[in-house]
Amino acid sequence: MTLDATDRRILTVLQKQGRISNAELSERVNLSASACHRRVQRLEEDGYIRDYVALLDTRKLGRPTTVFVEITLSGQADEVLEAFEREVKKIPDVLECHLMAGSADYLLKVVAEDTEDFARIHRAKLARLPGVQGMQSSFALRTVFKTTALPV
């Protein structure tokens, strides 16, 4: 399936207002409510819309500290990578994990209460991941810009 301009407008609105009613969405993208509903269903079925989520405020939940951690593994064998990936998924403090090209093997986005909490996460969880040879942590001082909306 290819996306037309109307599909793109629907996706743009839903990325920023996932709880919008179908009636309001159809008005915003200039479609009838039934046609809009059918398009949204098709976008869901075809996998363009993967999930609907609530984005939570890290400060209100006591996790205002964001740390980016570069991980270097002891090797690149499939079993080393697979073991690392399987275990890192189990750490709730890790919001993202990316396999990288460059000096680090993985880049993690970690949330913590503060530097002491991150030290605990580092020592008790990250350092114990299989295959970890080295870690480089960078603390975000302030989030200047953050979005989950993809350009469509």
- Cα–Cα distance between 84 and 31 in angstroms, integer? 47
Fold for 5-45, please state it. Arc Repressor Mutant, subunit A (1.10.10)
- Cα–Cα distance between 122 and 71 in angstroms, integer? 11
Q: What is the pTM of this model?
A: 0.90
Mean of per-residue pLDDT scores for the chain: 97
Q: What is the pLDDT of residues 65-106, one digit of tens each?
A: 999 999 999 999 999 999 999 999 999 999 999 999 999 999
Domain segments of the chain as ranges: 5-45, 65-139
Band of pLDDT at residue 1, cut at 50, 70 and 90: confident
Its CATH architecture, for the domain 65-139, is 2-Layer Sandwich (3.30)
Outline where the chain has alpha helix (H): 5-16, 22-28, 33-45, 78-88, 115-124
Rounded mean pLDDT, 17-46:
97
